[in-house]
Amino acid sequence: MRVIVNQVAYELPNESVITDALSLIEAKPPYAVAVNLQFVPKTKHGEYLLNENDQLEVIAPVTGG
Amino acid sequence: MTAPLPNNLNSADALVLYGESFASRLLLGTSRYPSPQVLEDAVQASNPAMITVSLRRQGSATAEVHSGFWDLLKKMAVRVLPNTAGCHSPQEVITTAQMAREVFETDWIKLELIGDDYTLQPDTLRLVQTAETLIKDGFKVLPYCTEDLIVCQRLVDVGCQAVMPWAAPIGTGQGPLNPYAMKLLRDRLSVPLLVDAGLGLPSHACTVMEWGFDGVLLNTAVALSEDPVVMASAFAKAVDAGRSAYLSGAMQPQESAQASTPLVGTPFWHQS
């Protein structure tokens, strides 16, 4: 199954969840996740089933104005 | 992010936003400093009510550069105000705000919905509805907007308890470009007004505070100065000076000269 994480394509087994994708990119806390432009709270990362061509955004804190 | 509130003090003239009091009327951005140490020193020198922060993709060049930023935030222990900088659609704003709420553990959000990449002018046509959606989702929204009276009024109508009109486009440092509209805003709106963006000098900050604005949010004017730590302190003093001047009630300008020194008893008066 193909998913896009931070604009990079990855292959994941079917029925993978967000946590699997986070492991794939070695995400370091703190982070937050959106799938297809919808926020997914961290309490759901272990159960949210990904679908083919889902687009994940994994974000980190940075400076801002 | 939960942090102590060094500015949440009992002050006779506190800035009150969404029911919370802040001793400082300066909000400071955290971008574009020469180094994290300079940022930390500038924050210490100016003691802002909040510092603004943002979110970027993990693994991106921006996020990698800022890999130590989280630790610095915890060390500084200043209230953070996440922004939605770079968002071009209401859904991007809403999702970014929700992610920021989880990462920074705060309901506060600086709403930025960009309508034009060249001027970074906010998309005022979609700003109001976006603010309303965020407020209904429990956010304390501080919207970055233009100085347009109707836009600001509509933001208040949908529940914004403060609004943040620009003085000039972000990062230009030009100071208030439309004094008439900004003074009109102050006259017509009773909610706290924070000038966000476009200030370049402490005198700009002092001026808008003298007009009755309740605070200022700035970044570039400090970060890109030759000595950001001293400049941060200068802005803090200017904000305080402007606020004091506003509360003191300025004299009315006069058309003709009026001697300050008493004329009665002037020696040699009419002797020639």
List the single residue in A41, A42, A64 with the smallest CB-CB distance to B52. A64
Inter-chain residue contact B63 with A62, CB threshold 8 Å? yes
Query: What ipTM score was computed for the predicted complex, to two decimals?
Result: 0.96
Residue by residue, DSSP assigns B207-252 as: HHHHTT--EEEESHHHHTSSSHHHHHHHHHHHHHHHHHHHHH-PPP
A2-59 under CATH 1.10.357.10, yes or no: no
In chain B the domains, ranked by start, together with CATH numbers, are 15-81+145-247 (3.20.20.70)
Does any CB of chain A come closer than 8 Å to the CB of residue B172?
no
Q: Cα angle at A4 between B85 and B91, to 5 degrees? A: 35
**Interface contact flag, A28 B85, Cβ < 8 Å:** no
pLDDT digits (tens, 9 = 90+) for B27-69: 999 999 999 999 999 999 999 999 999 999 998 777 777 779 9
For helices B179-188 and B149-157, the axis angle rounded to 10 degrees is 30
Q: Which residue pairs, CB below 8 angstroms and at least 24 apart, start in B35-42?
A: B36/B68, B36/B69, B36/B72, B38/B228, B38/B229, B39/A63, B39/B72, B39/B223, B39/B228, B40/B72, B40/B75, B40/B76, B41/B228, B41/B229, B42/B222, B42/B223, B42/B228, B42/B229, B42/B231, B42/B232
Instruction: Give me the DSSP letters along B90-156.
Output: HHHHHHHHHHHHHHHT-SEEEE--BS-TTT--B-HHHHHHHHHHHHHTT-EEEEEE-S-HHHHHHHH
Asked if residue B153 lies in contact with residue B188, where contact means CB atoms within 8 angstroms, the answer is yes
Note the pTM of the prediction, 2 decimals: 0.91
Partners of B66 on chain A (C-beta within 8 Å) are 60-63
CA separation (Å) from B235 to B30, B176, B177, B189, B222? 15, 15, 19, 25, 8
Nearest chain A Cα distance for residue B63, angstroms: 6
DSSP three-state, residue B184: helix
pLDDT tens, per residue, chain B with 272 residues? 544 444 444 457 999 999 999 999 999 999 999 999 999 999 999 999 999 999 999 987 777 777 799 999 999 999 999 999 999 999 999 999 999 999 999 999 999 999 999 999 999 999 999 999 999 999 999 999 999 999 999 999 999 999 999 999 999 999 999 999 999 999 999 999 999 999 999 999 999 999 999 999 999 999 999 999 999 999 999 999 999 999 999 999 999 998 899 888 888 877 66
A 7-46: CB under 8 A from B: 7, 25, 27-28, 30-34, 37-39, 41-42
Pick from A6, A31, A39: which is nearest to B98 by CB? A39
User: Which residue numbers of B are catalytic?
Assistant: 110
Q: Which of A25, A34, A63 sits opposite B69 (nearest CB)?
A: A63
What does residue B257 show for φ and ψ, rounded to 5 degrees? Answer: -65, 145
Contact B99 A42 (CB under 8 A): no
